[in-house]
Amino acid sequence: MEVQLEAGQLHRSAEALGADILALCRIAGTRAQVARRAELAAAGVDAVMLAELGLPTRDRLADLESRFDDDDDEVGSWMQAP
């Protein structure tokens, strides 16, 4: 794992920067869970079992990403692949 910060982000408080890093980690974890849910669905696991597993849906992921982007559009750009 690696975290790269743009120079312009260094003016922010450690609290704000840390909160955004944690939010990005949560989003990354949710992306992995959504991908696992899709793999299980493709393997034939039914919707009831997927719901029991508690894996998030794509809608949940979209909601997290949207809330993060709404909070700070500049930071949202960090989620883009280089």
> How many separate helices (H) and strands (E) can be counted in the chain?
4, 0
* Cα–Cα distance, 55 to 76 (Å, whole number): 24
Structural domain boundaries in the chain: 12-69
The answer to whether the pTM exceeds 0.85 is no
The band of 76, judged by pLDDT with boundaries at 50, 70 and 90, is very low
* Residue-wise pLDDT tens digits, 13-55: 999 999 988 999 999 999 999 999 999 999 999 999 998 999 9
Cα separation, 46 vs 26, in Å, equals 26
